[in-house]
Each structure stands twice: as structure tokens, then as C-alpha cells.
A and B are shown apart, each in its own frame.
Chain A
Amino acid sequence: MSHLVLGFDLVIVAGLAWLAWQALFDRHRFSAVVHFMAFGLVMALVWVRLDALDIALAEAAIGAGVTGALLLAALGRLPATSGHAPGWRDSQWPLVLLALVTTLAATLTLAWVAWQLPRPGLAAPIGEALPNSGVNHAVTAVLLNLRAWDTLLEMTVMLTAVCLVWSLGPALMPYAPATSLPGLPALARLLHPLFLLVPAYLLWRGSHAPGGAFPAGAVLGAGGVLLVLTDAVPWMHEPRRQPLLRLLLAAGVLLFLAVALGGVLLAGTFLVIPASVAGTVILAVEVAAALSIALMLMAFYLYGEPGR
């Protein structure tokens, strides 16, 4: 039995290493992108084996789904002649070797540090703090209460990335008109209810089981990407809707900041949520964060600033 499980894990690890190598070094760009998408899938399986279901959910939604779609669409924007990446020039080889050595050294250092970490880790203190955090699931408690600062910074990073993408130029319209691919709008119409239902379910589950704002936002965003593909969200391109779009994009970060400042007023400390209202506040922040994450993913997909 244990031999079987060990073999199972070894196959996953070997597949993961192979896919990572191909995604990085395959000169054929489309092949590299598809290898990256498969890498996300196998990575999610690895997180499942490591018993980290929250990360598996996020990896399945963001790594395998949305990032793969984003890379595929970016590839479609490149001229057809650039299907192959150019090979390395001779002068680049020392840099490649240096990068390999640095990566290897960093990996070994990280492995050494991880080995030195105190055991059994922080599970017990988090378990003690759980009753005052407003939720019953340890991961959600850490993400949105105990270490909410990290999550706030992550949201800010995503918002900055949207600003960067939009600063590149005006938004690109989807290539294929809906009339030439009639199956696409039909698929979007059939699937979109599911893309609304599943995030709602993930958000609701987040308070007591694996789920939460990030996977929910990513699935909602993937549904939105389907809508962008079928050209079904013309309001995003209308100049008079731009203030609303920007407000929604920033809603997650803004509400998070408001909660943080509310902590200063009520408890005297930045980002402290009083235990009596913690459940409600966390739910509100999660809903706003999921909506913002979904819109940010759709905003990446426009490849430029809309309404310009």
C-alpha cells in the first residue's frame, strides 16, 4: 500500500519536473504555454497530496485556468512568424549557468531553512486564536484576520499590475466576432450561471472549510474572461462607465483599508477586527475582494486601458 502511494507521488513529481522544464525551455511557444497549463494542473495535484486544499483550489483556478488562458491569448496577439523563441546566443550562456547555480543555491538554502523550522509549527497558536477570529477555518482566519496585512498587500500588488497593463495602451477588442463562432456565445450563456454559482459556493464555504475569496474571485474572473472573449461586456469599454469600473476594481483594497482604519478607531491598532463583528466584517471583505479579483483578471485580459 505504502509502496503504491510512494510510486504515485514519484510519478507526480517526475511529471511536474518534466512539465516545468518544457514550459521554460521549449522553443516552440505554443507548446511551452500548453506545458505551463498542464504544469498548473499537476501542481494542484501536488498541493492535494501535501494536504493543502486551499492552495490546491487557488492553483487550479489561477495557475492552471486563468494564467494559462491569459498566456494563450497573449500568444494569439503575437505575429504568426514568432511561433518559435530564438535560441540562446553564445554570449548568454554564462548568464544562464549563473542563473542555474543561483537557483540551485537558493533552493538548497530554502530546503535547509525549512528543515530548521520549529516543529510542529504555528498550528497550535492559530487554533487558540481561532474562536476570536470570526471564522471556523484556520486558513481563512490567517488570511483575513491574523495576517490580513499580507492579503491587503497582495490585493494592492494585483491592482498595481492592472495599472501597469493598462498603461501599455488602449484596450484590444476580442478577435473573433461572435457571429463567426456561434458556439462561443452559446457556451458562455450555458456556462456562465455555473461561473456565478461556484464562486458563491466557494465564498460561503470559506468560513468553515477550504475555499474563500481568492479561488472564488479567480473562478468568477474566468467566467468573466469567457464573457470578454465573446464580446459580451461592452460596458467595460464605454467611457462613461469608466469611473464605476475603476471603483469596482479598487473596491476590495478600499474596503480592506477601511476595515484596517476602523481597527485604529475601535481598538487602537491597525487591522485589528473586534471579535464581536469579525464574522460579518470578514464576509464583507471577502465578497468585495472576490469581486475585485474577478474584475482585475478581466482587466488584465483587455490588454490595455478601455474607453480610450
Chain B
Amino acid sequence: MLHTTTAALLLLNAGVALWRLHRGPTSADRMLAAQLVTTSSIAVLLLLGAELEQPALVDVALLFGLLAAVATANFVTRTWTLLHEETGSREEASRD
């Protein structure tokens, strides 16, 4: 019961992140909101795993954590490119 309630609260927390994901205004805001959704989902999965006694959910959470790192690395290289390759896109990188 406690697990499910906490999981539901964390899910609502991820819902707030969805609002930020939509609003932005910069790409860094959006990326961080997506990472917040990932982190909340990991916590939700671990809580559900404890509640339903399904240890395999820990594996799903593990994959979420690992692949979030790849997404962030991709985002960083893209932003670096925008900042350094074309001078005109500097504003674009800070604004979009």
C-alpha cells in the first residue's frame, strides 16, 4: 500500500516534468525534464518491483539508468556542435 502510494506520487511528479518538457524554453530544460521522467520512472519501477515481488523490474530500471547516460551524451555533443560549428546557431542553441 505504502509502495503504491509513493509510486503514484512519483508518477504525478513525472507528470509535472511533462509540463516542463512541453514548455521548455531551452533545449537543456527539455532534456533535464526528460531525465527527471527517467529518474522518476526508475523509482516507480523499483517500488512496483518491491510491491509486486517481481525482481525482474529491477532489470528494467537498470536499463533505464544505463540508457539515460547515452541520451545525455548525445545531447551534449549536439549542443556542442550547435555552439561551435555555425556562429548563427549559437542563439538557436540557447533558445530552442
Contact = CB atoms under 8 A, between A and B. Distances in A.
A48 B64 CA distance: 13
Contact of B34 (A34, A83, A194, A205): A34
B92 A41 contact: no
Nearest to A225: B70
A15 B12 CA distance: 10
Contacts of A76: 74, 77-78, 81-82
B45 A215 contact: no
Interface string A56-98: 1100110011101100110110011101000000000000000
A229 B88 CA distance: 24
Nearest to A29: B96
Nearest to A84: B96
Contacts of B88: 80
A295 B28 CA distance: 30
Given A4-B4, A53-B54, A12 B11 contact: yes
Contacts of B41: 41-42, 44-45
B93 to A, nearest CB: 8
B50 interface: no
Interface extent on B, as a size class?
Answer: 35 or more
B59 A187 contact: no
B59 A22 contact: no
Contact of B59 (A80, A181, A195, A205): A205
Contacts, number: 171
A100 B8 CA distance: 32
Contact of B69 (A26, A191, A209, A211): A191
Interface string B19-46: 0011010010011011001100100110
Contacts of B11: 8, 11-12, 15
Given A22-B21, A225-B74, 10 more contacts: A7-B8, A8-B11, A11-B15, A38-B18, A44-B64, A48-B60, A60-B60, A73-B77, A210-B56, A229-B74
23 contacts: A4-B8, A28-B96, A34-B30, A38-B33, A38-B34, A44-B60, A48-B45, A57-B60, A60-B60, A65-B71, A68-B74, A73-B77, A76-B78, A81-B92, A180-B80, A181-B80, A184-B77, A191-B66, A191-B69, A194-B66, A202-B59, A223-B70, A226-B69
Interface of A: 1, 4-5, 7-8, 11-12, 15, 18-19, 22, 26, 28, 30-31, 34-35, 37-38, 41-42, 44-45, 48, 53, 56-57, 60-61, 64-66, 68-69, 72-73, 75-76, 79-81, 83, 174-176, 180-181, 183-184, 187-188, 191, 194-195, 198, 202, 205, 209-211, 215, 219, 222-223, 225-226, 229
